[in-house]
């Protein structure tokens, strides 16, 4: 049963309770609401515990961000940079564009503990550094990545983890070739 009025003195205790309830297959929605309910609560906990400061993360972007679908792509790139025919050229463009986005892009962090994965999104907030949000729990890293992909994210860590080359080429053709260079 969910209690909307829960309160904790410690984020650590709320997270431990969430893990326990999750493992017992009980609802954790009330705990997620409390943990994520304050803009700085999860970030403060992450710094205090050093939980998400490791190599367990992937970069996240979206089709909209990758191909600047809310603006004219030709304002950002010359036509000859976009009018690509060969799949390898398309993949090269996508990889270069992706590398540029991840200099200060969002990341999905995960931490394996107690046979589950605790997770959070991370954004860099300028000089304030990493800011964490959207704490959740999953049974596996694959389940977490599938959830992110279903939310529209494209995941990358040295290579694309969520989408095949074929899917990425299809996105490029839809958002670039068919939109700007269709006959």
Instruction: Locate the domains of the chain by residue range.
Output: 54-180
pLDDT band of 4, cuts 50, 70, 90: low
Q: What percent of the chain has pLDDT over 90?
A: 84
C-alpha 17 chain-centroid distance: 25
pLDDT at 101: 86
Provide the Cα torsion 78, 103, 173, 143; round to 10°: -170
Over the stretch 135-148, which tens digit does the pLDDT of each residue have? 999 999 999 999 99
Q: Which residue has the higher pLDDT, 6 or 131?
A: 131
pLDDT exceeds cutoff 50 at 155: yes
Asked whether the predicted pLDDT for residue 1 surpasses 70, the reply is no
Q: Decide if pLDDT at 2 tops 90.
A: no
| First and final C-alpha spacing in the chain | 58
pLDDT of residue 173: 97
Question: Cα separation of 110 and 140, whole Å?
Answer: 10
Instruction: Give per-residue pLDDT as tens, 57-104.
Output: 999 999 999 999 999 999 999 999 999 999 999 999 999 999 888 877
């Amino acid at each position: 049963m969910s209690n909307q009025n829960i309160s904790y003195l410690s984020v650590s205790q709320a997270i431990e309770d969430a893990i326990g309830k999750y493992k017992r297959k009980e609802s954790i929605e009330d705990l997620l609401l409390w943990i994520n309910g304050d803009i700085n609560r999860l970030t403060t906990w992450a710094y205090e515990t050093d939980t998400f400061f490791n190599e367990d993360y992937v970069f996240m972007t979206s089709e909209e961000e990758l191909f600047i679908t809310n603006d004219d792509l030709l304002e950002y790139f010359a036509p000859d940079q976009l009018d690509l025919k060969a799949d390898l050229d398309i993949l090269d463009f996508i990889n270069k564009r992706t590398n540029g986005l991840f200099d200060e892009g969002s990341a999905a962090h995960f931490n394996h503990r107690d046979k589950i994965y605790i997770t959070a999104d991370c954004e860099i907030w300028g000089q304030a550094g990493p800011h964490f949000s959207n704490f959740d729990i999953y049974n596996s890293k694959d389940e977490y990545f599938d959830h992110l992909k279903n939310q529209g994210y494209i995941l990358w860590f040295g290579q694309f983890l969520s989408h095949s080359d074929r899917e990425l080429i299809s996105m490029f053709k839809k958002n670039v070739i068919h939109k700007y260079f269709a006959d």
